[in-house]
């Protein structure tokens, strides 16, 4: 239904964000978005590692 977002659409979105928030708030918004993305990646990595360790633990108990 929805196609990919191309350069013209991105420019329109960026223009709307610039009008709504103003040029002084954009760096702050970008910084907070980057921090949120970093935290999300870290959390998903930790969850993946705990699931992988859980698989190893159950495999060890099944062998004995």
What Cα–Cα distance (Å) separates residue 50 from each residue in 44, 45, 54, 56, 57? 10, 9, 6, 10, 10
What Cα–Cα distance (Å) separates residue 23 from each residue in 10, 19, 43? 17, 8, 31
User: Looking at residue 8, what is its pLDDT?
Assistant: 92
Asked if 36 and 45 touch (Cβ cutoff 8 Å), the reply is no
55-64 residue pLDDT tens: 665 555 555 5
- At residue 4 the predicted structure's pLDDT band, cuts being 50, 70 and 90, is confident
What Cα–Cα distance (Å) separates residue 21 from each residue in 6, 7, 26? 22, 21, 7
Tell me the pTM: 0.56
11-47 residue pLDDT tens: 999 899 899 999 899 899 889 999 999 999 999 999 9
């Amino acid at each position: 239904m929805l196609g990919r977002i191309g350069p013209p659409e991105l420019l329109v979105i960026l223009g709307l964000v610039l009008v709504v928030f103003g040029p002084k708030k954009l760096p702050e918004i970008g910084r907070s978005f980057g921090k949120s993305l970093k935290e999300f990646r870290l959390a998903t990595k930790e969850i993946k590692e705990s699931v992988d360790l859980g698989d190893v633990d159950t495999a060890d108990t099944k062998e004995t």
